[in-house]
Structure 1
């Protein structure tokens, strides 16, 4: 037994990256700000939080929040060590236009690693007869997710740009899915990584329509908002029969800028060093790849994250883009 124990200790020591051996200043526990249950943020964020906790031997987990805007605020203040955000809400938070704390420039939230693109997608019940954006009737009740989320921040403006009149509704994705089934909503406008758990649950329980953007609608949105073209593949959902054209924003994990360099570097290493393991947490992680470091053009980099991407992904991150006290 003694020999086995010694071997295990030696093996563990070899497996721990050199930068993780220095744990000076590391927190005893950590929290990852995610979003509402039923959305991709919650599933993805809780997954990598648990993975990091297991690999580094530290207590940590995901926390339900209002999404990217609130996560920027929580990480900036240090109430959460980590969080997740899309680039649009990140830019607004840096500029002091985050509705949670108007006027506060949230500059103490740093980029940590690329996650995935968030497509903007519309789902209705097949029984509604709504098969396109143009079919959405004036005054339709549309659920946009939690107040302050990426979806709630941008999708109403997009729908208005396309000339649709609607009544705005907010709530967690699971709750909105139930309201759609109960006839309390006409449409749900999702901004979440795909497959979105709430949509996967909906298609098991009832027949749904996956609404695609027409070329003209997509072009109008691309002209007006900080988004990129995106195609939701037909195999994303069990009952989806063809690709859906959409638009998307990139998501990044964020860290409080004051966290120790070695701690953040170790966290990034756990997440970025094994993509197959991340895809096991959520399919959206197929884009959680080192080469996507360059999709951050908004946030300052945490020094620990910048060090990992520079040494392991050949990233060329300018010194003036790395946070420094």
Structure 2
């Protein structure tokens, strides 16, 4: 019996090796890099997780690289300095339109969609003692923390609040630092765009009473009509301070690939990540929504042909006009 089991395992390993050997490896890179974000952030942890999986499954050495986040990742992948990267769809659209601050006027059209990652919710936090319980109650000229300069939050949240008619003083910094400033009374609110639960918010509610402020349906409608975001609800229990869904908006994050990478390499990379969600979730909890059915959240960023082929073979329906030629 032991001999049979060993033989079965050998056959399985051999079959897997034969399958990978069957892939056309023409033009495959000797190694690869994944542009992520700041060390300790969600992007770095998530990017490290899938870089390791792709490396193991393809046999190509690779790893995560610390970057300035979505905008810089679009630039690095467009130029080919990084093979892969991660971005939110807002910065992706702006980069395609030549509005990336790294290279103003240059349409970054050589970064292709690879696979859906997860949503980044936009949420507002205030101290209970401030009396602020809604967006409308945020006073004119309020001091608002918008996160690190150039981040997705800093890029879009100020515009969203301006769309809702607010005037404010803009402050930047790391999330933990801004949370501390809020607690010390140096800020009126902090506008977070980060995966929920945001550690800085969880820490705040341990130390003081806070309000997680939701958008009204009308505010939601205004924002989704003006920006590349979708309706979202922060679930009860995400924070101790909420016991009912909190109305918000979110922006999808997508992995991207340099469009010139071989189709077969990107196909195998996508297959490694999307083919075993349990493995991805084990590597990073944020991967719970890294599922094939979310391919349709991208409606404008051209897909890499290798990625499009994998999704269309696995229940997707990516049309030819949205596939990079």
Map residues 69-84 of structure 1 onto 2, 5 A cutoff: 69-84=71-86
Change (3 A) 1:110 1:223: closer
In 2, Cα distance between equivalents of 1:28 and 1:179: 46
Q: CA deviation at 1:41?
A: 2.6
Map residues 224-243 of structure 1 onto 2, 5 A cutoff: 224-243=226-245
Q: CA deviation at 1:182?
A: 4.5
* Structure 1 residue runs without a partner (length 5+): none
- Is the Cα–Cα contact under 8 Å of residues 147 and 171 in structure 1 kept in the other structure? yes
Secondary structure (helix, strand or coil) at the match of 1:236 reads: coil
Segment of structure 1 superposing worse, 36-45 or 91-100: 36-45
- Report whether the alignment pairs 1:258 with 2:293: no
Map residues 99-138 of structure 1 onto 2, 5 A cutoff: 99-138=101-140
- Is the Cα–Cα contact under 8 Å of residues 117 and 193 in structure 1 kept in the other structure? yes
Cα deviations by residue, 1:216-265 (Å, 9 ceiling, x for unpaired): 32232233323221111113234432211011222211011111222211
Cross-structure match for 1:312: 314
- Is the Cα–Cα contact under 8 Å of residues 69 and 93 in structure 1 kept in the other structure? yes
In 2, Cα distance between equivalents of 1:218 and 1:6: 59
Question: Which residue of 24, 43, 46 maps to 2:45?
Answer: 43
Please give the TM-score of this superposition, normalised by the length of structure 1: 0.87
Please give the TM-score of this superposition, normalised by the length of structure 2: 0.87
In 2, Cα distance between equivalents of 1:6 and 1:205: 59
Cross-structure match for 2:324: 323
Cα deviations by residue, 1:50-74 (Å, 9 ceiling, x for unpaired): 3323443443333332222111111
Q: What CA RMSD, in Å, does the superposition of the two structures yield over aligned residues?
A: 2.8
Cα deviations by residue, 1:162-206 (Å, 9 ceiling, x for unpaired): 222211122333443344344443322122233334434444555
Cross-structure match for 1:292: 294
Cα deviations by residue, 1:105-138 (Å, 9 ceiling, x for unpaired): 1011000011122221112344444332233233
* Structure 2 residue runs without a partner (length 5+): none
Change (3 A) 1:125 1:8: farther
Change (3 A) 1:29 1:236: farther
- Is the Cα–Cα contact under 8 Å of residues 66 and 147 in structure 1 kept in the other structure? no
In 2, Cα distance between equivalents of 1:62 and 1:128: 41
- Report whether the alignment pairs 1:272 with 2:274: yes
Change (3 A) 1:39 1:87: same
- Is the Cα–Cα contact under 8 Å of residues 99 and 148 in structure 1 kept in the other structure? no
- Is the Cα–Cα contact under 8 Å of residues 37 and 174 in structure 1 kept in the other structure? no
In 2, Cα distance between equivalents of 1:273 and 1:317: 18
- Is the Cα–Cα contact under 8 Å of residues 20 and 58 in structure 2 kept in the other structure? no
Cross-structure match for 2:216: 214
Structure 1 consecutive aligned stretches of length 4 or more whose deviation exceeds 6 Å? 3-9
